[in-house]
A and B are shown apart, each in its own frame.
Chain A
Amino acid sequence: MCSACGFPTKPGHWTDAGADAAGDKLQLKFRRAKILNKILSGYGLAVHDDGLTPGLQLRSFTGRTVIVPDLEAVWSEAEAQTGTALDPLDARFLRAAA
């Protein structure tokens, strides 16, 4: 946003903007990893976030590990490894939520 007329803009990936204080950031990273693992486990994938290293480690069932910078990259890499985009509107998630 323009420095003259805009509100402050958070730097970094948009998904990281919800936490500012150090404690909040750590909590966000851990909780995000927990949610991702629940979602990704059905696809044979897992993430690890130690809270210190930037980005996330994405591990496939073969043991191959890739470090990705943000959530957008998680989904791109998951698609590359599984051959299909993980769609939250897929019947498997909707059925489970019902």
Chain B
Amino acid sequence: MAGRETRTDNRLRLTILGGYLGSGKTTWLRHQLFHRRYGRAHILVNEAAETPVDDTLLQQHADGLTLLAGGCACCVGRDELLRSLRRLCDHRSQQASHTPRLERIILETSGLADPGSIAEAIQADPMLVHHILLDDIIVLADAANIIHQLGTEQLGRAQIEAADRIILTKADLQSHSMLSTVYATLSQLNPGASVSAAIKGEEIDPAFDPNAPPVPLPALGELSGLPAIEPTRLKIDNSVDWAAFSVWLSALLHARGHDIVRVKGVFDTPAGLLLLQGVRNSVQAPEILPPSSTQRANEIVFIGRNFAKEDLGKSLRYFSLSDG
């Protein structure tokens, strides 16, 4: 009986969507869900920081969504991930066979996760291994930043190496020759993965130049001395308005863009709730969120290294009182 239940073609499909901080995972996934490219899919969103933002963007197009906040699913949040997957499998097993059943789970990992470790954890789970078939690891790579990440972050390299499919995002911000160089570098690092390109989730034909040379990368041992990247949540009180915050953050990113790899959060302004998303020293034009996201306003997550957590708050206080 057990044998019939665990036939390969009956297992729940799992897609792992990984990629470094700010590589565009949520943007890409939102586009795929909007176009129903994944059928009946349940979305698991994992965010390393305690302040989740991405679920707000995804929930309107998903069949179901579970948020795994407060721990990266490849390490400290692993148990919570496995529990959630077991719950989904249980629920599916209890459904009658003639009712439409869940076909796929898409796990959007945090930008700090190694998809390879997650795949190993699922394979090592005695229950999940019979119910879940991991059929695709998609890793997104920010075309502008991936070369720098590969040169400075072990994690960035581990993510690329774990991929079945690599998608270069923000491809419109790079020249054709740069895209070809990135393609050659990624292909050298992970020759087994397909590499494509997308702009805001829409696949494009990048026409990579097959003769472009790859960028030489430093040996992994040379990267081991760097301090780890950590998330810091900054709660902003009412005395800090948008003028003070934007002056402060723009200065901070100008000076510390290489240390602060990701900024994400919601700020309440006279123009509405702005969703701030920054990667290194570049911040996207903020989106205006629906008013229902109020509960998370004025909490900004900084992910980076080489700064003391409490200094962010102190420094912002100085900037916000500066009209006195």
Using a CB–CB cutoff of 8 Å, the interface residues on chain A facing chain B are: 1-2, 4-12, 14-15, 17-21, 24, 28, 31-32, 34-36, 38-39, 71-72, 74-76, 79, 85-89, 93-94, 96-98
Contact = CB atoms under 8 A, between A and B. Distances in A.
Contacts of B30: 5-6
B242 A19 contact: yes
B281 to A, nearest CB: 8
A72 B254 contact: yes
Given A24-B271, A38-B323, 13 more contacts: A5-B34, A5-B201, A7-B288, A14-B284, A15-B246, A15-B250, A18-B270, A18-B274, A31-B243, A72-B250, A75-B250, A88-B252, A89-B311
Contact of B256 (A2, A14, A87, A98): A87
The 6 closest A-B pairs by CB, nearest first: A18-B242, A18-B269, A5-B34, A38-B322, A97-B318, A75-B254
B236 interface: no
Interface string B88-106: 0000000000000000000
20 contacts: A5-B34, A7-B287, A7-B289, A7-B290, A14-B285, A17-B286, A18-B242, A19-B242, A19-B270, A20-B271, A21-B270, A28-B243, A35-B247, A35-B322, A71-B246, A71-B247, A75-B250, A89-B252, A94-B314, A97-B318
Contacts of A2: 31, 34, 200-202
A10 B254 contact: no
B86 interface: no
Contacts of B319: 35, 39, 88, 93
A90 to B, nearest CB: 8
A81 to B, nearest CB: 14
A6 B290 CA distance: 12
Nearest to A94: B314
A24 B241 CA distance: 12
Contacts of B285: 9-12, 14, 17
B244 interface: yes
Contacts of B314: 93-94, 97-98
Contacts of A34: 322-323
Contacts of A88: 248, 251-252, 255, 315-316, 318-319
B243 A18 contact: yes
A18 B267 contact: yes
B84 interface: no
A62 B267 CA distance: 38
B279 to A, nearest CB: 12
B283 interface: yes
Contacts of A14: 246, 276, 283-286
A79 B275 CA distance: 28
Contacts of B284: 14
Contact of A85 (B35, B243, B254): B254
Contacts of B33: 5
Nearest to B244: A35
B78 interface: no
